[in-house]
Amino acid sequence: MRVLIVKTSSMGDVLHTLPALTDAAKAIPGIRFDWVVEEGFAQIPTWHPSVDKVIPVAIRRWRKNWFSAPVKAERKAFYQALHARQYDAVIDAQGLIKSAALITRKAYGVKHGMDWNSAREPLASLFYSRKHHIAKAQHAVERIRELFAKALGYTKPQSQGDYAIAQHFLSNLNDNAGRYVVFLHATTRENKHWPETHWRELIRLLKDTGLRIKLPWGAPHEEARAKRLAEGFDYVDVMPRMSLEEVARTLAGAKFVVSVDTGLSHLTAALDRPNVTLYGPTDPGLIGGYGKNQVALESKDGKMPSTHANAVYNLLSHFSTL
């Protein structure tokens, strides 16, 4: 059986789709997947053993110059790749009009998606051949697992979902694995940031643990923040710019992770690494970290928690003796 997945973004949403593939692979021997995903996240599906082909799409970039000659050429090449196979099922796990109209509708195969009352954008359901009702009051991972089960005709397992990507990284760790921690300090929205003074205090509290602290970043302003956080601490490493694969390998070898609400926090969960995540406006019960050893510190007023470093440090005792 050959299935096309349409789940283009964002990083957390793409990662949240992986357990559904694992369910399907256990329920339907020999099932294989192709996956349409935004070009920036194209590495992620390749980590799952049931994915054969990744078809990158660049709607985010294309829409800036939709009718330019280079973008037209890229779109033509994308649709040629999309039409290379006839699929037994096409599952739109995005639930948006753009994913349904621009991608799912044009793929070859029976098109599945959430119904009018379940999809993030109800109009998207008009483009599906078969519509499935998926209860909203559950974590995003469970919603996608239920969608796949109904679309492909098996019973959704009651056990916790398995991303099935940790082994891809754990089988090739370096000698420093377990000797460092990672602080994921960068996020896109201002109200999701934890104060730099709190980060520096937590760094100070870890001084005598013998653990190094690694600070990854993805943009120049994030690099500048990392350098401010590291200033004066000789056991803190501001990492070089890394690919998503390199970041994943770094996270896979961490003793534990402390993070704000960011896509890399979801990657940490997918890698089964212990993680304390600080949540502000996000409801972790619906779209928070899903997996083993995930601890959420959440706000009660929609703002970033004023949790002090001591409270986070004490929570880390869940994972190790500091």
Let me know whether 160 and 275 are in one domain.
no
248, 265 contact by CB (below 8 A): no
Let me know whether 237 and 120 are in one domain.
no
Q: Indicate the SS3 state at residue 54.
A: strand
Mean pLDDT of the chain: 93
Counting Cα atoms < 13 Å in the Cβ hemisphere of 312 gives: 30
Let me know whether 276 and 156 are in one domain.
no
pLDDT for residue 283: 75
Beta bridge partners of 302: none
Residue owning tokens 């995540």: 277
Let me know whether 95 and 146 are in one domain.
yes
CATH assignment of the domain containing 207: 3.40.50.2000
Let me know whether 11 and 32 are in one domain.
yes
In order of 44, 91, 98, 298, the CA distances from 104 in angstroms are 20, 8, 9, 36
Domain's final residue, options 164, 191, 207: 164
Residue owning tokens 């089964």: 272
Let me know whether 151 and 204 are in one domain.
no
322 confidence band (pLDDT: 50, 70, 90): low
Let me know whether 26 and 137 are in one domain.
yes
Domain's final residue, options 127, 146, 164: 164
Most confident segment among 230-239, 270-279, 283-292:
230-239
pLDDT over threshold 70, residue 306: no
- How many domains does the chain contain in total? 2
Query: pLDDT higher for 187 or 216?
Result: 216
Tens digits of per-residue pLDDT, 52-61? 999 999 999 9
Let me know whether 262 and 188 are in one domain.
yes
Percent share of the chain, pLDDT over 90: 84
pLDDT over threshold 80, residue 31: yes
Let me know whether 260 and 112 are in one domain.
no
Let me know whether 181 and 311 are in one domain.
yes
Distance between CA atoms of residues 42 and 8, nearest Å: 9
Domain that holds residue 310: 167-318
Mean pLDDT computed over 104-119: 98
Among the listed residues 184, 180, 193, the one whose alpha carbon sits nearest the alpha carbon of residue 279 = 193
Let me know whether 150 and 228 are in one domain.
no
pLDDT for residue 173: 84
pLDDT over threshold 70, residue 303: no
pLDDT over threshold 70, residue 320: no
Q: Is the dihedral of CA 270, 89, 72, 95 positive or negative?
A: negative
Cβ partners under 8 Å of residue 184, min gap 6: 216, 257, 258, 259, 260, 262, 264, 265, 268
Domain's final residue, options 117, 135, 164: 164
pLDDT over threshold 80, residue 258: yes
Let me know whether 230 and 156 are in one domain.
no
175 confidence band (pLDDT: 50, 70, 90): confident
